[in-house]
Amino acid sequence: MGIRFILMVNKQGQTRLAQYYEWLTLEERRALEGEIVRKCLARNDQQKCSFVEHRNYKIVYRRYASLFFMVGVDDDENELAILEFIHLLVETMDKHFGNVCELDIMFHLEKAHFMLEEMVMNGCIVETSKANILSPIQLMDKAH
């Protein structure tokens, strides 16, 4: 229910972060990622609608600099809300890393995952306050 997966893919089609909330085998995942990325990349040149329909779910995507954020959701989910959620995610990461860029995510993959975990659990949005999300992560950083 809700969110099925969250992907961050760069313009060359390389996955930078992938979080799935339903089980797919490795081949399926790669195939899925490939298809979706192709669809989003192709569209971006002409049109501006952020929603793509793929098989039985919708993909809400947005491009930030060189990275595409794609969220696959069920049919009954509010697409505009997901768009807001993507923005919230980016802002949270920005607050933590300071001017986040693709390399930051790559080199601190586990931190990005932790952040995402605080925000989304089992496909549902859990926390939307940046302070609450970042506090355990900051604690952990301090402990290190």
Partner 1 sequence: MNSIFSGTRLRDMIRSIRACKTAAEERGVVRKECADIRASINENDPHDRHRNLAKLMFIHMLGYPTHFGQMECLKLIASPGFPEKRIGYLGLMLLLDERQEVLMLVTNSLKQDLNHTNQYVVGLALCALGNICSAEMARDLAPEVERLIQFRDPNIRKKAALCSTRIVRKVPDLAENFINAASSLLKEKHHGVLITGVQLCYELCTINDEALEYFRKKCTEGLIKTLRDITNSAYQPEYDVAGITDPFLHIRLLKLLRVLGHGDADASDLMTDILAQVATKTESNKNAGNAVLYECVETIMAIEDTSSLRVLAINILGRFLSNRDNNIRYVALNMLMKAIAFDDQAVQRHRVTILECVKDPDASIRKRALELVSLLVNENNVKQLTKELIDYLEISDEDFKEDLSAKICSIVEKFSPEKIWYIDQMLKVLSEAGKFVKDDVWHALIVVISNASELHGYTVRALYKAVLTYSEQETLVRVAIWCIGEYGDLLVNNVGMLGIEDPITVTESDAVDVVEDAITRHNSDMTTKAMALVALLKLSSRFPSISERIKDIIVKQKGSLLLEMQQRAIEFNSIVDRHKNIRSSLVERMPVLDEATFNVRRAGSLPASVSTMAKPSVSIPNGVAAAPLVDLLDLGSDDIMAAPSSSGADFLQDLLGVDLGSSSAQSGATPGPKAGADLLMDILSIGTPSPAQNNTSSIDLLSTAGINNNPSNALDTLSSPAPPHIATTASAGGMFDLLDGLSPSPSKEATNGPAYPPIVAYESSTLKIEFTFAKPSGNPQETNVQATFINLSPNTFTDFIFQAAVPKFLQLHLDPASSNTLPASGNITQNLRVTNSQHGKKSLVMRMRIGYKLNGKDVLEEGQINNFPRGL
Instruction: Give CA torsion, residues 87, 91, 94, 99, to 10 deg.
Output: 70
Region for residue 33 given its phi and psi (left: phi exceeds 0; alpha: psi -120 to 50; beta: otherwise): alpha
Closest contact distance (angstroms) between CB of 74 and partner 1 is 12
Nearer to partner 1, 41 or 125 (CB): 125
Closest contact distance (angstroms) between CB of 128 and partner 1 is 5
Nearer to partner 1, 41 or 83 (CB): 83
Nearer to partner 1, 35 or 107 (CB): 107
Closest contact distance (angstroms) between CB of 142 and partner 1 is 12
Nearer to partner 1, 98 or 110 (CB): 110
Distances (CA, A) of 143 to 14, 18, 107, 137, 140: 33, 27, 20, 10, 5
Q: If we measure between CA atoms, which residue out of 102, 110, 64, 81 comes closest to residue 3?
A: 81
Nearer to partner 1, 53 or 65 (CB): 53
8-state DSSP, 76: T
- 3-state SS class at 60: strand
Residues that bind partner 1 (CB under 8 A): 1, 15-19, 21, 23, 26, 29-30, 43, 46-53, 78-81, 83-85, 88, 106-107, 109-110, 113-114, 117, 121-122, 124-132, 136, 139-140, 143-144
Closest contact distance (angstroms) between CB of 65 and partner 1 is 17
Which pair of structure tokens corresponds to residue 51?
A: 């929603």
